[in-house]
Amino acid sequence: MTDEFDAYMPELIETRRRIHRRPETGWTEFETTALVAQRLESLGFEVHLGLEVIDPERVMGRSAGEAQAAQERARRAGVPEELLARMGGYTGCVGVLRTGRPGPVCAFRYDLDALPITEPTDPASGHLPAVEGFASVFPGKMHACGHDNHAAIGLAVARWARDHEADLRGTLKLIFQPAEEGARGAAAMAARGVVDDADWLICGHVGTTAGPGELQIADRGFMATTKFDADFKGCPSHAGSCPEKGRSALLAAANAAVMLSAIPRTSQGDTRVAVGKLVSGSARNITPADAHMEFEVRGETAEANEFMTERAEEVVRGAAAMTGVGVDLRRVGQGSTLVTTQAALDLLYEAARAVPGMKVMAAPPCPGSEDCTVLMHRVAERGGNPGYFLFGCSHHGHHRPDFDTQDTVSDKPGFEMWVQVLKRILG
Amino acid sequence: MTDEFDAYMPELIETRRRIHRRPETGWTEFETTALVAQRLESLGFEVHLGLEVIDPERVMGRSAGEAQAAQERARRAGVPEELLARMGGYTGCVGVLRTGRPGPVCAFRYDLDALPITEPTDPASGHLPAVEGFASVFPGKMHACGHDNHAAIGLAVARWARDHEADLRGTLKLIFQPAEEGARGAAAMAARGVVDDADWLICGHVGTTAGPGELQIADRGFMATTKFDADFKGCPSHAGSCPEKGRSALLAAANAAVMLSAIPRTSQGDTRVAVGKLVSGSARNITPADAHMEFEVRGETAEANEFMTERAEEVVRGAAAMTGVGVDLRRVGQGSTLVTTQAALDLLYEAARAVPGMKVMAAPPCPGSEDCTVLMHRVAERGGNPGYFLFGCSHHGHHRPDFDTQDTVSDKPGFEMWVQVLKRILG
Amino acid sequence: MTDEFDAYMPELIETRRRIHRRPETGWTEFETTALVAQRLESLGFEVHLGLEVIDPERVMGRSAGEAQAAQERARRAGVPEELLARMGGYTGCVGVLRTGRPGPVCAFRYDLDALPITEPTDPASGHLPAVEGFASVFPGKMHACGHDNHAAIGLAVARWARDHEADLRGTLKLIFQPAEEGARGAAAMAARGVVDDADWLICGHVGTTAGPGELQIADRGFMATTKFDADFKGCPSHAGSCPEKGRSALLAAANAAVMLSAIPRTSQGDTRVAVGKLVSGSARNITPADAHMEFEVRGETAEANEFMTERAEEVVRGAAAMTGVGVDLRRVGQGSTLVTTQAALDLLYEAARAVPGMKVMAAPPCPGSEDCTVLMHRVAERGGNPGYFLFGCSHHGHHRPDFDTQDTVSDKPGFEMWVQVLKRILG
Amino acid sequence: MTDEFDAYMPELIETRRRIHRRPETGWTEFETTALVAQRLESLGFEVHLGLEVIDPERVMGRSAGEAQAAQERARRAGVPEELLARMGGYTGCVGVLRTGRPGPVCAFRYDLDALPITEPTDPASGHLPAVEGFASVFPGKMHACGHDNHAAIGLAVARWARDHEADLRGTLKLIFQPAEEGARGAAAMAARGVVDDADWLICGHVGTTAGPGELQIADRGFMATTKFDADFKGCPSHAGSCPEKGRSALLAAANAAVMLSAIPRTSQGDTRVAVGKLVSGSARNITPADAHMEFEVRGETAEANEFMTERAEEVVRGAAAMTGVGVDLRRVGQGSTLVTTQAALDLLYEAARAVPGMKVMAAPPCPGSEDCTVLMHRVAERGGNPGYFLFGCSHHGHHRPDFDTQDTVSDKPGFEMWVQVLKRILG
């Protein structure tokens, strides 16, 4: 049985696979931003790029060197100089469709970035992108979280809106956010004001707790989170001939890693602390002068996360002082808890029930983090209605080399859901 | 075969056993100080007591409460009020014998204090003091290092000197030091100037590396040491209902204990670090607000000990800061390395060879600590000759409940050695 | 305005203060058990004592030495030999009133034990028990959690039931449990089967989240918990002369304390871990051969607590192995989560609303632990109805030296609540 | 003033600079081995290569992948296929000159490998190799310890011996050892028996404690050492959504790093422990499943090193067990203390005094490690005479990017010293 949405699917799938083949990690999405911008402009959207939608003062976890190198790669891949100039070194894009008729501002948010994971490319692996020939061509990078699906669906929604513009009122704002992984990009977009006029902000995700044929509406969940990088700076020495002259950054970081894990639990809500990376030292017999550590804390409530954040900073600075080592501690990511309104919940349930053949249900509270929550809080604080839903696929876990979304099955309900939401807000 | 020294032995052994039965730990040696003072005065020595020989500003590791209680006990045991008043709350005693004839000042140093160890009192244990009925009558206190022998020998030397005063010249100074254990007492005597006029300062010890029939002369050894007490002050909370309100002094102390042990070695000489005691917490479910820790560092050289001392202070303060806990860190003991002169070595070897039947040898460098080193450094700095020897006994280790010196065998050579030294300096 | 309950209050208050004056910690409640037993017998209850109601195989956290000493104290305080003999060294008591009329078995549970806290006795402190002359006469022991109120109310309920026996049916079972603190006593009573015939088991507590004038009904809460004692056994050595011969139990315990705190959080529910006590070492310069540690873990769910329990055991054994130290690790307490039924909730709400002048509300989920949960689970598993409520007082926190329940105000509503429950079950 | 040795210097300096330009780290010295082998063969030495002089079973710390890649590089650099085939994948070389006249076997040992350090190449740095154009052409590799000087001097000695063969008797054995850094190569040569026939084994080093114009003879020193690699294997999990499923290899390694540093000191001699490298984790929010750690222990005596080695293994295995993580722990390097004989000392002093203009002195005991000690112990055990000397240069420390030996000044005395030794043994 075909319907009006089928016509959009070939382009959606092709776009998604085009993005999947050339995955770009956070703050390096120059090709993806260009693809989105060109498509939106061709559809008549007003397009804002890079520094127009990003406050560089609030950017977290961006490597200038990597951004520079990625820009070069994009240039070689044919991204027009004019677009790169408009971006100004920063990725991300917002497309606006003004109907000219009075009505609310309806914002949808999609994310663009991939992960530092190597995708299987051997068809014998059975991994669908490898079998069908759209696996990543960049070793060490992979869309293993479905942001490629999100971006492609966003563009299909753009086309649908253009096709049905006559039936709409108010303003549609499609936000394509960089650097969701690590919860790095949303704060810079929020600070630039991209959702400040939004009456509605709807966000969504493929997979996670939603299985095939399911649409889940979220009324709570996500942990608030703070991401940190710490660089300890000690003093080298020959560990045999003059250990007393050395100050081991490795020892400081090791003690910090243990004591971070030992921050007490809090009655303010469930918490997390994870030291995910530690790299220190050069030769076996040289007191390590440098240690790089990446860690994060989370809290079920803002208070709980704030507690963890403050204690973590105390621990890291104390661990350095304890061993006579210096430390550069930086917050490199920030996420909030999920916030929504009854109006948004009602609208999302109604929209979901209009998608044929789907099982509609409440989403279980998610212990992960999503930085669209930062945008959602901004909207809620200004009296708008933020909402969040999940559309399902089958998977063994996100962020894995074998992650796949079965796009030809999963993406149509996702696309339809967004259209149903759009119809209800701007219809 | 009997000789001139045999006559002194019965009193020496009786005195030693009298002291052994009533052991007094550091800064509580009121009965022992009184016994020594009374004996010296009866022999015609000029006697200085307590605050006359102790600089209270430089006293380390003294509990005013314990001193007060011990004074009461001594009072009940019959120590005359007049003597207690002269002591002024502080133990220790110096006896001076001035021959009136020109000559050097010869100082001998003996220590008075016992250990917080419970001595076996059951004769079935085979422990000699128990078998012969002179085991400690104070549970939890014991002379398990031979300071009782030292004090008794010092008094025998006093009697011998009095008996042979006509053959002597110059001045004999017998220093009976409190609180050697923990290296607490010497600094306060040094600061009071008790060895400032000494041309010679001879110190000695029973046992340690010297076996039965051995006299060992030391030309180096002892580690410099600093003793610390740390009291961590956190914040209590119910560990179930509001762990976030607590600040665990226990966790701070535990981390400090581990990281103290992890202070690096140094090329400036061998080192030690020992956390000997940690007491923290009240109930299982209350975040511990208090932790008391006792530790020490040592160094083969002054530099090595200074390195350990500085790093230890850094670690303890850092451990507290890292967990939001306060700390009161105090130096409660101080010892130096052994210092001597060629003149002192020559004299000690000559004296030792005059003691019949003894094997004379160099002492191996001792890794322990002895606070007479503080007095020895003071003498050396002023151009005097400090010297150190060991007289042997059989033992399984000092500071053990089964420690015994076999006084009837060990103490005569010790006594003779000191007399031979005395003859050579003041003869 | 007086009512039928006022007549019971003078005896209730006097009994409570009598118990308050002579606080007995867990497994030493010989005087309190005797007082309860004598009162119950005088009222015609069938009374079961000590080993009749305690399974010694399931007793946790009991010191035989302390129990022995407490028995002696009780003997000297006039507890009849016959009662002590019936107890058989174990405290706790169950009183049964059989109406002879068909009806359910209704069990109420009260706890008896005090805490190792020193109560202020100076009236100038303003502490009510000190002001009114019923402060603890046992230094270091105090009823600082209201178990004295519980026991006294239980006895008042006994008297009321006797007075109104003609109006009742079925069986009333009053359970006076020892050793609630540390979650030690309930498991031994459960194992002995004391609640196996209970159709209803109602438990309650003064204070905690309930303020003055409040009755709170609990439908969830309490964390499951496991309490542990660990005794590390190392090897002593002189820390200066032969540190390599030592095995520091202190270092093992310190590392265990840190790493216990570092057990990861779990998605199975909120957790706790608390190292509440650590005592190790003798002298500063002796490698500590012994360390005693007390700690506990908690979990919002049984799974979460089981996770913490397993990881904790792994950490402690690993910490010992890592430093060549032995360890004796024992589970000394066990609590569950709160379980109830709709029938129990309905009944408790109805009963509460019958107590005049009280604000009735749901209790917030309590993060603490209560070992009556073990009995409640036993009843629930057998199809009975367990319920739990709180009756309020003003306080700054339980387990503090300044804890007071304002008995003349708080205890009447508590008493009435139990009577209202009783009327509804056996009326 | 010129002498017979001046004629050898231009080739020596050129050879040294040729080796300096193409530094090869341990077990990858294919070009250097080829250069040495070709020169020795051209001089008529019997040459043994690679597997002929290396026991592959006893090789430590060799990466097969790196060796393979280096072999390819050497092939591209023109090393003849025949030589590579003879090496069999293993570097190192021994040249033998048999005079045919009866006499002792005299072995000299030189090392070949460079360090993983990046050398400054900008002449503006003032670094002599950069100024004079012989700085390393391999980024990340540098001769920063003088092994290039050693190898070049060894070849000059070969030429001198050939030139003076008529005046010599016995056998000269020149050993060019791979992989001295990390103490990896000597054991494999010793096991292959290359010094088993040596009556004399003389080893030497440029710099360290010897300043310009100094020749130092060593009678003791070097710490025994064991080098370890540890690979911890945990279990990954999403740190937010299911931390309880993870087993952090990072936490295990961090705790191991701290507790390794906390291994007690020993009275058996001064010790060292150094954790030089720790690399763990991938993403911030993934529980790290892998951790790679490199560390080493040292001891002033064999006993002290053995103590450290055993305790270190205990700590690493315990740290893994404590956190439910697996570990692969491997010994990757081994060095001994210095051993020599009076005959060797006498001969070295006599030879040194024959070098004009040099200050001859005893070397202070060196706290570092040198794996020629393994060969020296092998010779001593078989009754031969091992000896060790230092020839000076000015430097700020070995293993630094700015290390330079001032070859035109330092290498002539070094060369002469070896010749003087050679004359005395085989002359």
A256-263: average pLDDT: 97
Q: How far is D143 from chain B (nearest CA, A)?
A: 25
Q: Is the confidence at residue C350, as pLDDT, over 80?
A: yes
Residue position matching structure tokens 């052991």: B23
SS3 at position C223:
coil
**Residue C384 phi/psi, 5° resolution?**
-85, 180
| Cross-chain residue pair A265–C265, CB shorter than 8 Å | yes
- In the structure encoding, which two tokens stand for residue C152, read together? 């006294």
Three-class secondary structure of residue A295 per DSSP:
strand
Cα of first residue to Cα of last residue in chain D, in angstroms, is 25
Residue B21 sits at the chain D interface (C-beta within 8 Å):
no
B415 and B156 Cβ atoms separated by less than 8 Å: yes
Is any Cβ of chain D less than 8 angstroms from the Cβ of C397? no
Which residues, given as ranges, of chain D have pLDDT below 50? none
**What pLDDT is recorded for position C367?**
63
Dihedral sign from CA coordinates of C303, C305, C311, C317: negative
Q: Is residue C291 classed as helix, strand or coil in its secondary structure?
A: strand
Closest to D278 (Cα-Cα) out of A281, B270, C286: A281
- As a whole number of angstroms, the distance between CA D107 and CA D344 comes to 13
Query: Do residue B314 and residue A307 have CB atoms under 8 angstroms apart?
Result: no
Residue A366: is its pLDDT beyond 80?
A: no
Distance of alpha carbon D133 from alpha carbon D406, whole angstroms: 14
Q: Which residues of chain A are in CATH 3.30.70.360 domains? A: 224-335
Question: What residues of B are in contact with residue A264 (Cβ under 8 Å)?
Answer: 243-244, 246, 248, 287
A contacts of B317 (beta carbons < 8 Å): 321-322
Domain with CATH 3.40.630.10 in chain C: 6-222+336-426
* Nearest C-alpha in C relative to B279: C279
How far apart CA B30 and CA B36 sit, in angstroms, is 10
Contacts of B227 in chain C (CB under 8 A): 284
- Range from A232-236, A253-257, C282-286, D154-158 carrying the lowest mean pLDDT: C282-286
Whether D238 has its CB under 8 Å from any CB of chain C: the answer is: no
Q: What is the per-residue pLDDT for D1?
A: 57
Partners of residue D264 in chain C, C-beta under 8 Å: 243-244, 246, 248, 287
Cα–Cα distance measured from residue D121 to residue D130, given in angstroms and rounded to the nearest whole number = 5
Identify the residue among B265, B296, B369 best suited for mutation to test binding to D, counting D beta carbons within 10 A and taking the highest: B265
What pLDDT is recorded for position A367? 63
d(CA A254, CA A250): 6
Q: How confident is the model at residue B216 (pLDDT cuts 50, 70, 90)?
A: very high
Question: Does residue A340 have a pLDDT over 60?
Answer: yes
Residue-wise pLDDT for A296-316, tens only, equals: 999 999 899 999 999 999 999
Phi, psi of B254, rounded to the nearest 5 degrees: -65, -45
| D254 chain-C contacts, CB cut-off 8 A | none
Sheet order of strands, B271-280 included: B326-335, B224-233, B290-299, B271-280, C271-280, C290-299, C224-233, C326-335
Check C275 against B251: CB less than 8 A apart: yes
Q: Average pLDDT of C199-211?
A: 95
- For tokens 């402690």, what's the residue? C316
Q: Can you give the pLDDT at residue A368?
A: 76
Query: Which residues 6+ apart lie within 8 Å of C76 measured at CB?
Result: none
Q: Over the Cα atoms of chain B, what is R_g?
A: 23
Residues of chain D with CATH 3.40.630.10: 6-222+337-426
Residue D312 φ/ψ, nearest 5 degrees: -60, -40
- In this predicted structure, the answer to whether residue B367 has a pLDDT above a threshold of 70 is no
* Contact with chain B for residue C243, Cβ under 8 A: yes
Which one of C222, C278, C323 would you mutate to disrupt binding with B, by most B Cβ within 10 Å of its Cβ?
C278
Cα C282 to Cα C290: distance, rounded to the nearest angstrom: 9
Cβ distance A298 to D182 less than 8 Å, yes or no, reads: no
DSSP letters for D165-201:
GGG--SEEEEEEES-TTTT-SHHHHHHTTTTTT-SEE
DSSP secondary-structure letter at D28?
Answer: -
Residue from D414, D248, D218 nearest D325 by CA? D248
C-alpha closest to that of A239 among D216, D277, D313: D277
Q: Which of D266, D315, D324 sits opposite C244 (nearest CB)?
A: D266
C303-306: long-range pairs with CB below 8 Å, 24+: C303/C266, C303/C268, C303/C269, C304/C224, C304/C266, C304/C268, C304/C269, C304/C270, C304/C271, C305/C223, C305/C224, C305/C225, C305/C226, C305/C271, C306/C224
The answer to whether the CB of B92 falls within 8 A of the CB of B49 is yes
Round to whole Å and give the CA distance between C115 and C182.
10
User: CB distance B265–D270 less than 8 Å?
Assistant: yes
**Which of left, alpha, beta for C221 (phi over 0: left; psi -120 to 50: alpha)?**
left
Q: Does A321 touch chain B (CB under 8 A)?
A: yes
- The larger pLDDT score, comparing residue C1 to residue B326, is at B326
Which residues on C lie below 8 Å from B254 (Cβ)? 253-255, 257-258, 275, 278
> What is the C-alpha separation between A35 and A77, in angstroms, rounded?
12
**Closest-CA residue in chain A for C297?**
A265
**Kind and range of the H or E element at A182?**
none
D103: left (phi over 0), alpha (psi -120 to 50) or beta: left
Predicted TM-score of the model (pTM): 0.84
Distance between CA atoms of residues D389 and D204, nearest Å:
5
What the block records as the tokens of A23 is: 């995955």
Angle at B6 between CA B2 and CA B12, to 5 degrees: 160
Judging contacts by C-beta atoms under 8 Å, the chain C residues touching residue B287 are 274, 276
Is A261 in Cβ contact with C264 (below 8 Å)? yes
Mutate one of A270, A273, A295, A366 to test the C interface: name it (highest C CB count within 10 A).
A270
The alpha carbon of residue D274 is apart from the nearest alpha carbon of chain A, in Å, by 6
3-class secondary structure, C405: coil
Compare all CA atoms of chain A with the CA of D286 and give the residue at the minimum distance. Answer: A276
The DSSP-derived string for C99-138 is: -SSS--EEEEEEE--BBS-PPP--GGG--HHHHTT---SS
What dotted CATH number matches A224-335?
A: 3.30.70.360
Question: ipTM of the assembly?
Answer: 0.81
pLDDT of B1 strictly over 90: no
**Cβ-defined contact of C270 to A273 (cutoff 8 Å):** no
Cβ–Cβ gap D244/C268 under 8 Å:
yes
Residue pair A347/A198 in contact by the 8 Å Cβ criterion: no
Give the pLDDT confidence of B117-176 residue by residue, as tens digits. Answer: 999 999 999 999 999 999 999 999 999 999 999 999 999 999 999 999 999 999 999 999
Spatial contact of B274 and C250, defined as CB atoms under 8 Å apart: no
Determine whether C192 is exposed, middle or buried from the number of CB atoms within 10 Å of its CB (0-12, 13-18, 19+): buried
Instruction: Name chain A contacts of B307, Cβ cutoff 8 Å.
Output: 244
Rounded to whole angstroms, how far apart are CA atoms A371 and A187? Answer: 8
Q: For residue A296, list chain D residues with Cβ-Cβ distance below 8 A.
A: 239, 284-285
CA of residue B9 relative to chain centroid, distance = 24
Of D261, D295, D397, nearest to A284 by CB-CB distance is D295
Task: Write down the pLDDT at residue B311.
Answer: 97
CATH fold of the domain at D224-334: Alpha-Beta Plaits (3.30.70)
Name subunits touching A (3+ CB pairs < 8 A). Answer: B, C, D
Collapsed DSSP state (helix, strand, coil) of residue C389: strand
> Is A7 part of the contact surface with chain C (CB cutoff 8 Å)?
no
Assign a CATH topology to domain C6-222+336-426: Aminopeptidase (3.40.630)
Count of Cβ atoms closer than 10 Å to residue C244 Cβ: 19
| Closest CA–CA distance from residue D279 to any residue of chain A (Å) | 4
- Chain D within 8 Å of B269 (Cβ-Cβ)? yes
Least confident of B71-85, C306-320, C398-412: C398-412
Q: Is any Cβ of chain B less than 8 angstroms from the Cβ of C285? A: yes
Distances (CA, A) of C100 to A202, C94, C172, D397: 67, 18, 11, 97
CB contact under 8 A, B318 and A322: yes
| Two structure tokens written together for A119 | 């995708």
Answer whether D188's CB lies under 8 Å from D181's CB: no
Q: What angle do CA D394, D397, D399 make, to 5 degrees?
A: 125
pLDDT tens digits, A48-77: 999 999 999 999 999 999 999 999 999 999
The chains found to touch C (3+ Cβ pairs under 8 angstroms) are: A, B, D
In A, minimum Cα distance to B245 occurs at A266
Q: Where in chain C is the domain with CATH 3.30.70.360?
A: 224-334
Among candidates C293, C290, C277, which has minimal Cα distance to C326? C290
3-class DSSP assignment, residue D232: strand
Quote the tokens at residue A394: 């089958």
The verdict on a CB contact (< 8 Å) between A244 and B251 is no
CATH of domain D6-222+337-426: 3.40.630.10
Q: Is D209 on the interface with B (CB under 8 A)?
A: no
Q: Select from B244, B251, B309, B317 the residue whose CB has the most chain A CBs within 10 Å, as the one to mutate to test that interface.
A: B244
pLDDT tens profile C238-271: 888 889 999 999 999 999 999 999 999 999 999 9
Cβ burial, residue D11 (10 Å; 0-12/13-18/19+): middle
Q: What is the pLDDT of residues A103-153, one digit of tens each?
A: 999 999 999 999 999 999 999 999 999 999 999 999 999 999 999 999 999
